[in-house]
Structure 1
Amino acid sequence: MFMENKKLVPPDGGWGWIVVMGVSAVNLCTRSIEQSFGLLFGDLLKDLGVETTGAAVIMSTLDALINFSGLFTGPLIRAFSYRKVSLAGSLLVAIGLILTSWANSMAHIIATYSIINGLGVGLTASATFVALNNYFLKRRGQAIGFSLAGTAFGMMLMPQAVRLLLDEFGFRGAIFLLGGFALNSLVGSVLLQPAKWHYVSEEKCLEDGDYKQEMETIKEDGEDEDTEQAEVNKLISNHLVIKTFEELKAGALTRKSTFPRNFSTMSFMGNRVGRRRTSKESIMSSYSRLDFTGSSIQLAIDTPESLAQEAPNSNNPSRLRRNMSYPGVQFSPQNKVLKELQMEHEKFKEQQKTPWQKIVKFMDFDLLKDPIYLNLVFGLSVFYVAEQNFKMVMPFFFKSIGYDKQDIALFLSVQAFTDILARLILPPICDRLDVSKRTLFMTGIFFLGLCRSILAQQTAYVWILVWLVIAGFIRGAALINFAITISEYATLEKLPAAFGLHNVGKGLFVVTLGPVLGKIRDATQSYPFCLHSQTVLIMTCVMAWLIEYLIEYCRTRTAESEKSDTDTMNT
């Protein structure tokens, strides 16, 4: 008779889909305004006399705060929870937008919109991403894709909403109402319940051999030592004193048990040589207070007589016959002492660490020693700078070739609509492909860069719409795999820190390269040239990752060749 091994795992659905809806609502209320920045702030920046350079500084500062917040979102999420962090971030976004309605200078806009709002967006972005990764394993791509659809849906509707609000209430009234709209993200954050509340039991397939016997026999020597030692620690936790056999006999130890023994059929097979071992003196102990039948363990302690009957090569000092209530363990005082010494040594090493070493461990800075992770962050950061600059410059580009606010709002909505289609259609397909998410992302951004360079050369209304449709769909196809490239590489334990440090990397690149792209536009007085420079950044990401792939391929071939040569020599 067999029972399946079960453990608690993320539901990959269930309440997880409610969490997807919550994350989508948070994204809709906090991030959908970003693409409409030029449309919303354009007139104010023109009145302040800063135009493109001022917009670049504001957006670069915003992105820096969004990303530098990742430096402490990991520790915050571990100290509190992703739901509390998301609630705090949602509140900051609303406050920042509302306070921006009184802005009459660059410094005011930077303080409220870039810093306060940016910090809130950074907190919500990290918290919602960690929440999704805690709820989904196999359907992670679908979950993240559907949640990002909220952002794309907002980007489709927000340009039209911003245009209507500006016409009706002006800049100050429009951004004040948008701040009130951001308060709805609190509702989405409340839905991010701890994933452990909804874990389900995993059922293993018996055909894979992942099962256990209902009544198992003694463990063979040397098997599952860590598990057995852990069980020993549980058994001796109630001040059980280890004594010798002579001491136990002196204390009126009897061999007769109060409860019947339970054996599996395998217990009569004996040890490895195929014979049953000679019966030994045993101790009967009942430990379970909940099992009223008297769940028991039987400790078979070696005596001089029994040791003489053992095989000469046997070095096991003590054995245990197990019944159906407790698994078999090796009851070895020596192992317990060694375990305690090891724990004391670990505590001593922890006390000897310098403050900086403790910070490195707490913040998981050891990730920065991984060259693959660093290259991954580099590529994502370079693409992010290009993407953010494109969203900022695009409204100005359309305005420079003679289109009004209504046309610009339509262009932005069309691109966002095809972006949504890609995020809804492609995630289930991508999850079934035997290709890494990083490779899919790299392929997507390669074609996205080409499409945007072609779009930069268009002036006709119809052709602009055609290339916006294509570029929007490819953008959605690429961005559904943007964040997953991090979770695909990092473990769930390291994920908050990996995602936070990735955000810090993006922030550094935004601060460094963002204003440079603005200066390029102002120096050349050409928006198409600025869009082409964004494509160069995208291709830089592609080249960096291709070089890494090539190096890994060469290393793999070399290792396989050396292994083949070794096998040939051995034969």
Structure 2
Amino acid sequence: MAAAAPEEAKESQCEPQPPDGGWGWMVAAGVFLIALVVPMLLPSFGILFSRQLLEWHTSYTTIAVIFNTFLVVWRLAGVVVGTLTKEFGFRRVAVTGTLLTATSLTLSAFAASPLHLLITFSLGCGLGNGLSCVGYLILAHYFKKRRGRATACLVAGAGLGHFVSPLVIRLLQEEYGMRGATVVLGGITLHAVVGASVFQPVEWHWKKPKEDIAMEDTGTFSSLLPSHAKTKEPKRAEVKVANDSKEGTDDPLCVAPSPRRVSQSTSVAEREGTSFSVHTVVIVAKTEAPAVPLAAWRDRSRACGLCRTLGRVLRSVVRDMRVLRKPTCLIIGLASSLIINAEANFLVMVPFALQAAGYPLQTAAWCLSIAGMSNLFTRLCVSALSDLPWFNMRLCYMAGMAAMATSVLVFTFQMGAVWQAAVMGVWGCAAGMFYGLNNLLMTRVVGLRCLISVYGARNLLGALGFFIVGPVVGVIRDVSGSYAVSMWVLASLMSFSFFLWLLMPAAQAYESRQEPGERSSIGA
């Protein structure tokens, strides 16, 4: 395997280094908990709401709109989540997202129509999921050498959630019905707040670079002064403060600050009758009191601060989208978005297709559970292997995309429940290969500095894809009357993503010619 990408190599050793352990493992545990209970809504949508939607005689186009709106909002939230973490920190964003997801899912239990479900589930849970999924971004900042092992916690949580959620939801529905099961599931999702609460700022745990440690040991600054100046104590600073009398005011809510003059003189070093002095004069200008009450002034300041924050967020999002001008980033974003679009719509279609073929809902739950179990096993394996020098990440990644497309095609043939479950197991392994390496390979190509920008751009492309692909697939299903035709369309999207990655070496060569000395290497 070739050396790591120059984008990562350019991260100088002079900069503070991630802890690569310590509190980072607590963060990894929090990421595991969030990934376990929050993203499980994606593969379990059909199990959770299929009977209710069929009782409402909802067309599959409407079902596709509800589900894909959920995914569109999720991805659009992912577009700004990187910028929001810069403004407010990982912990605030994650806590807000997990609370919103749990609340919206609980409200979905009382949905009386598809429109109600569109508002509570699609909009509420979609926004909450998008804000909650900051796990990989924070792991990439906490870990460097052990990033693959830390990411295994993320993929393990997601894989385990995919495995247990269909069976748990079916068990809850049998005990409490659709409404009771959804309420209980909302309570389970609320536990993700505990995982988000451990997302401390990484700056609290940075390791000092070697150069700073050496500077502290050798006393670089003190060596710049004359030798006798180190032994003499500097003269104390003389500070003179002159306050004018306060101007009175009749309104206690008005503020009338006094002018103040500060003069400071500090002797730094003395040598043979010659003194080196620094004189500082600070004059604070007199300010007039605001002519409005303090409460109104504070409200105006908060409004201005909010507008400035929103402006910074929008400008940052626009800057992040510019990364798609690079061919490698465009391939990563487009291929990943198409695979995620096809995979999500295939999962939600499986329960409806199996019930249309005469199988009970329990069979669909077992098929999805088997896919989740194989997905979990494969994710753990490839995430752990990614840290080894001989492991070819790109080859495994592309093999996963090809196997996903093939499995979807095979699933359309009616071969009995056992064979359908076996095909779903193979599909789960292929999906595990893709998702276990998706973020790691993206970081290898673009580097840590561009990670948040590419992450946001990828989510934007994903949102556009869900906005178009899902409803189109729903229309194809209603017009053709066949789930198989719709699944063939999804398999073609997966195949197109595979062919896009075949163009990656050419894209890297192009960027190498455009930017001499900088190239993106994935590794052989």
State the TM-score bracket (shorter-chain normalisation): 0.7 to 0.9
Work out which of the residue numbers 140, 156, 163 in structure 1 matches 2:163. Answer: 156
Question: 8 Å contact 2:84–2:313 — kept in the other structure?
Answer: no
Deviation sequence 1:244-299 (CA, Å, 0-9, x none): xxxxxxxxxxxx96269xxxxxxxxxxxxxxxxxxxxxxx998899xxxxx9999x
Q: Partner residue of 1:450? A: 406
Query: What is aligned with 1:483?
Result: 439
Give 3-state SS (helix, strand or coil) of 1:516's partner.
helix
Partner of 1:333: none
Aligned positions of 1:400-439 closer than 5 A: 400-433=356-389, 437-439=393-395
Cα distance 1:457–1:192, how it changes in 2: closer, same or farther (>3 A)? same
Cα RMSD for the two superposed structures: 3.6
TM-score (norm 2): 0.74
- 2:228 — aligned with what? 258
For the residues of structure 2 that align with 1:215 and 1:36, how far apart are their CA atoms?
60
- 1:359 equivalent in alignment to 2:315: yes
The range that moved more, 83-92 or 436-445, is 436-445
SS at match of 2:145: coil
Partners in 2 of 1:30 and 1:109 — Cα distance? Answer: 18
How many Å apart are 1:144 and its aligned residue?
1.9
**1:183 maps to what in 2?**
190
2:47 equivalent among 29, 39, 49: 39
**Residue 9 (1) aligns with residue 34 (2):** no
Question: How far apart in 2 are the matches of 1:288 and 1:502?
Answer: 59
- Which of these residues, 479, 492, 503, is aligned with residue 523 of structure 1? 479
Counterpart of 2:228 in structure 1: which amino acid?
T
Could you give the per-residue CA deviations for residues 161-197 of structure 1, whole angstroms, max 9, x where no partner exists? Answer: 1112222222111111111111101011112222222
Return the offset for 1:426: 2.2
Please give the per-residue CA displacement for 1:66-124, whole angstroms capped at 9, x wherever unaligned: 01112322221111111110000001001111111111112111110000110000001
Structure-2 change in CA distance of 1:555 and 1:358 (3 Å):
closer
Q: Assess if the C-alpha contact under 8 Å between 2:79 and 2:457 holds in 1.
A: yes
User: Which digits, 9 at most, give the CA deviation of each residue in 1:384-436, with x for residues without a partner?
Assistant: 11011111111112222222122222211111111111122221212214567
Matched to 1:174, the amino acid is A
State yes or no: 1:128 paired with 2:135.
yes
**Contact (CA 8 Å) 1:33, 1:154: kept in 2 or not?**
no
Instruction: Tell me what 1:169 maps to.
Output: 176
Is the contact made by 2:402 and 2:495 (CA closer than 8 Å) also made in structure 1? yes
Identity %: 29
CA distance in 1, matches of 2:31, 2:426: 27
Tell whether the 8 Å contact from 2:78 to 2:131 is kept in structure 1 after alignment: yes
1:72 aligns with 80
Partner letter of residue 31 of structure 1? P
Paired position in structure 2 for 1:495: 451
The one-letter amino acid of 1:366's match is R
Classify 1:505/1:559 alpha carbon distance in 2 versus 1 (closer, same or farther; 3 Å): closer
* Amino acid paired to 2:175: E
Residue 108 of structure 2, aligned match among 86, 100, 113: 100
Q: TM-score, normalised by structure 1?
A: 0.68
1:143 has 2:150 as partner: yes
Relative to structure 1, the CA distance from residue 161 to residue 197 in structure 2 (aligned partners, 3 Å threshold; closer, same or farther) is same
Structure 1 residue identity aligned to 2:79: L
Counterpart-to-counterpart distance in 1, 2:411 and 2:314: 50
Q: Is this contact kept in 2: 1:146–1:423, CA < 8 A? A: no
- SS of 1:10's equivalent in the other structure is coil
Q: Deviation digits for residues 277-328 of structure 1, max 9, x if unmatched?
A: xxxxxxx998899xxxxx9999xxxxxxxxxxxxxxxxxxxxxxxxxxxxxx
- The answer on whether the counterparts of 2:380 and 2:436 sit within 8 Å (CA) in structure 1 is no
Return the letter of the residue paired with 1:383.
I
Is the partner of 1:481 in helix, strand or coil?
A: helix
How far apart in 2 are the matches of 1:447 and 1:61? 27
Alpha-carbon offset, residue 538 of structure 1: 0.7
Aligned pair partner of 1:472 in 403, 413, 428: 428
Distance 1:213 1:390 in 2: 58
Matches within 5 A, 1:218-367: 258=228, 359=315, 363-367=319-323
Q: Any idea what SS the aligned residue of 1:395 has?
A: helix
* Map of 1:536 onto structure 2: 492
8 Å contact from structure 1 (residues 68, 504) kept in 2: yes
One-letter amino acid of the structure 2 residue matched with residue 84 of structure 1: R
Shift of 1:464: 2.0
CA distance in 2 between partners of 1:508 and 1:296 (Å) = 65
Residue of structure 2 aligned with 1:61, choices 69, 83, 90: 69
Asked if structure 2 preserves the Cα contact closer than 8 Å seen for 1:141 and 1:428, the reply is: yes
Q: Determine if the alignment matches structure 1 residue 198 to structure 2 residue 198.
A: no
CA distance in 2, matches of 1:6, 1:555: 27
Checking the alignment, whether the CA contact within 8 Å between 2:79 and 2:455 is kept in structure 1 is no
Assess, with a 3 A threshold, how the Cα gap between structure 1 residues 502 and 358 changes in structure 2: closer, same or farther: closer
Secondary structure, in 3 states, of the residue corresponding to 2:415?
A: coil
Hey, what's the Cα distance between the residues in 2 that align with 1:18 and 1:213? 30
Give the secondary-structure state (helix, strand or coil) at the position aligned to 2:387. helix
The answer for the alignment partner of 1:504 in structure 2 is 460
Partners of 1:429 and 1:418 in 2: CA distance: 17
The Cα shift of 1:32 comes to: 1.1
Alpha-carbon shift at residue 491 of structure 1 (Å): 4.0
Q: Secondary structure at the match of 1:431?
A: coil
Secondary structure in structure 1 of the residue aligned to 2:437: coil
Using the TM superposition, name which of 141-150 and 530-539 deviates more: 141-150
d(CA) in 1 for partners of 2:503 and 2:314? 35
Q: CA deviation at 1:155?
A: 1.7
Deviation at 1:381?
0.9
Q: Give distance in 2, aligned partners of 1:480 and 1:367.
A: 24
Deviation at 1:485, TM superposition (A): 3.4
**Amino acid aligned to 1:124:** S
Give the unaligned 5+ runs of structure 1: 205-209, 218-230, 237-255, 261-283, 290-294, 299-354, 561-571
Relative distance call for 1:16 and 1:522 in structure 2 (3 A) is same
* Residue from 506, 511, 514 that aligns with 2:470: 514
Q: Residue 438 of structure 2 aligns to a residue in which SS?
A: coil
1:109 maps to a residue whose letter is L
Query: How far does residue 554 in structure 1 lie from its aligned partner after superposition?
Result: 8.0
| Contact preservation (8 Å) 2:229, 2:270 | no
- 1:22–1:188 CA contact under 8 A, matched in 2: yes
Deviation at 1:215, TM superposition (A): 7.2
Q: Which amino acid aligns with 1:532?
A: W
- Count of paired positions: 433
Q: 1:543 to 1:362 in 2, by over 3 A?
A: closer
Match of 2:126 in 1: 118
Structure 1 residues 551 and 78: alpha-carbon distance in aligned structure 2, compared to 1, 3 A threshold: closer
Which structure 2 residue ranges, 5 or more long, are not aligned? Answer: 1-12, 237-267, 272-310, 517-524
Q: Which one has the largest radius of gyration?
A: 1
